[in-house]
Amino acid sequence: MSTRVDRLTGLSWILAVLFGVGSSAGYAQEAEAYRISEPRLQTLAQAMQAQVTGKQLAGIATLVWQDGEVVHRQQSGYQNLEEKKPLTKETIYKIFSLTKPITGTALLMLYDEGKFQLDAPVEQYLPELQSLRVAVADGPDGQPETEAADHPVTIRELMTHTAGLTYGRFSESQVDSLYAREGIQNIDTSLADMIAKLGKLPLRQQPGSQWHYSVAVDVQARLVEVLSGMAFDEYLQERIFTPLNMIDTGFYVPQDKQGRLAVSYTPDPEKGLQPFSNQPWLSKPTFLNGGGGLVSTMDDYLRFARMLLNEGELDGVRLLKAETVRMMRSNQLPEGVAGPDWAPGNLFGLNVAVVTEPEPAGFLPEDVYWWWGFHGPWMWVDPANQIIVLGMMQNTDYRHSRVVHGTVSQILYRSAN
């Protein structure tokens, strides 16, 4: 707890000393489109360098795009601390859950082709998920007591994390324990194998009743395979990465690029930053993790984010209809269902969070849509102001990553009044 307080105190110091922001400041909103000023960008650069100088992060890269150009780009620190190998524009990062907006885009491309309706039952395409039951109470021998689902899980519920699924590691329940026991995301199995296992397990809660982070995006990846007739990685390459010229994005790093892959670090109070092995990302995986398996570069992910900002099109290549992107970035939660409890001021669209209240959301403007990955990388797309903010880091302390995200959002968007 004291560490978190110290970090928040450090954030206040950065805002007050480097930028002169008072504690009563509000969201930076003007009658015209908001443009991030050069002093704010300079403050951002200093604050991110301070993360490296203070040995909280081995390295961090940030990029701000506005009105059709990069207005800020910085690489602070190292992609490999032991070798003193600095971050560069070409550094490849494990993006973890920043994979989710890409998977959502892949599925919505098939929606645009008329392959499914959002409120269609998932079991229509994945019959293994028919007649699912729902845990209602703990039972003997780790087997929960169950009841019938009150309706079949829909594709919209998959894309809003309201399907009743879980991850098996971010909450504690008998259903989570069953996920762990069954190896739902076993790296040596396929997406099809995962669906077969899920069909035999109860849901954690009734579908449509609660936002709960889950393997739903991996189910989406399997839907892409079934609806397209292609392996998920092949679909992404052919339909998204090649058209957008995302040349360094995929499920693993080929041998000729492995020297560019950043190392993740785990903080240790006594030993400092300890390296986390890159080995799992050096060969093609069997399990094509649609919720967190991709690697990418800052420039590749910028091209993806620019496509979204431009409502589905980039450099003459259209992936999604404009109305589909607008749907993706608008709240899709059932009435009365709250967004992520750890992200106040947000509801949820299709595979992305959507800001509804700027101040509790770190002063991000209303309608910004965003997501982030477990080792810290993030994307914010601000359609009203034509801004994209990207960050890339490799830090296993996800709580500190969220502090960094809050630091950046307040520097860039909090009013100085």
- Provide DSSP, 229-269: SS-HHHHHIIIIITTTT-TT-BSS--GGGGGGBPPEEEEET
CATH code (residue 237): 3.40.710.10
pTM here is 0.94
> Is there a domain that residue 3 lies in?
no
- pLDDT at 342 exceeding the cut of 50: yes
* Residues of the domain holding 288: 36-106+232-409
Other residues' Cβ atoms within 10 Å of the Cβ of residue 1: 5
Q: pLDDT band for position 417 (50/70/90)? A: low
Beta bridge partners of 265: 275, 395
Tokens 């989710």 correspond to 100
- For residue range 158-198, list pLDDT tens digits in order: 999 999 999 988 889 999 999 999 999 999 999 999 999 99
Residue 18 lies in a domain: no
Same domain, 248 and 393: yes
d(CA 16, CA 22): 6
Q: How far apart are CA 131 and CA 200, in angstroms?
A: 10
Residue 112 lies in a domain: no
Indicate the pLDDT class of residue 14, thresholds 50, 70 and 90. Answer: low
- Please name the residue that has the structure tokens 């990207």: 390
Tell me the C-alpha distance between 291 and 231, whole Å: 15
> What is the overall mean pLDDT for the chain?
93
Q: What is the mean pLDDT of residues 394-415?
A: 97
Comparing CA positions, the residue from 321, 371, 153, 123 lying closest to residue 223 is: 123
Question: Which tokens go with 80?
Answer: 């490999």
Could you tell me if 198 and 285 lie in one domain?
Answer: no
- Calpha distance 19→74 (Å, rounded): 18
142 in the same domain as 76: no
Tracing tokens 């947000």 back to the chain, one arrives at 346
Query: What token pair was written down for 9?
Result: 């105190």
Q: How far apart, in whole angstroms, are the C-alpha atoms of residue 29 and residue 71? A: 19
> Are the beta carbons of 122 and 208 closer than 8 angstroms?
no
Of 208, 220, 201, 190, the closest CA to residue 129 belongs to 201
β-bridge pairing 92-94 and 133-137:
unpaired
Residues 257 and 373 in one domain: yes
pLDDT in tens, 226-275: 999 999 999 999 999 999 999 999 999 999 999 999 999 999 999 999 99
Do residue 207 and residue 344 come from a single domain?
no
213 and 139 belong to one structural domain:
yes
**373 in Cβ contact with 262 (< 8 Å):** no
160 within a domain of the structure (yes/no): yes
Q: In this model, does residue 30 exceed pLDDT 80?
A: no
* Residue reference for tokens 């709580």: 399
What span, in angstroms and rounded, lies between the C-alpha atoms of 369 and 98?
Answer: 12
Q: Which residues contact 364 (CB under 8 A, 6 or more apart)?
A: 345, 355, 358, 370, 380, 382, 409, 413
Cα separation, 190 vs 286, in Å, equals: 6
Do 325 and 305 belong to one domain?
A: yes
pLDDT for residue 24: 33
Q: How far apart are CA 39 and CA 416, in angstroms?
A: 12
Q: What is the pLDDT of residue 20?
A: 46
State how far the Cα of 336 lies from the Cα of 330, in Å rounded to an integer. Answer: 16
Residue scoring higher pLDDT (77 or 7): 77
**CA separation, residue 118 to residues 111, 161, 165, 223, 337 (Å):** 8, 13, 17, 12, 18
Residue 32 is predicted with a pLDDT of 81
CA distance 165 to 186: 16
- Tokens representing 140 are 């003997």
Are 352 and 364 in contact, with CB atoms under 8 Å apart?
no
Tally of domains within the chain: 2
Which of 190, 223, 256 marks a domain boundary? 223
Residues 283, 173: one domain?
no
pLDDT at 10 over 80: no
Do 123 and 150 share a structural domain? yes
- 72-75 own/partner pairs: CB under 8 Å, 24+ apart: 72/36, 72/41, 72/44, 72/45, 73/298, 74/44, 74/45, 74/48, 74/49
- Give the whole-angstrom CA distance, residue 341 versus residue 338: 8
Whether residue 329 is found in the same domain as residue 400: yes
**310 and 335 co-located in one domain:** yes
Average pLDDT of the residues in 279-297: 98
Q: For 218-230, write each residue's pLDDT tens digit.
A: 999 999 999 999 9
Q: How confident is the model at residue 300 (pLDDT cuts 50, 70, 90)?
A: very high
| Residue-wise burial string across 60-75, b where 16 or more C-beta atoms lie within 10 A, e elsewhere | bbbbbbbeeeebbbbb
In this predicted structure, what is the pLDDT of residue 27? 44
Helices (H) and strands (E) in the chain, counts: 11, 16
- How far apart are alpha carbons 288 and 190 in whole angstroms? 7
Residues 254 and 289 in one domain: yes
Separation of alpha carbons 122 and 199, rounded Å = 11
Last residue of one domain, picked from the residues 193, 223, 253: 223
In a domain? residue 4? no
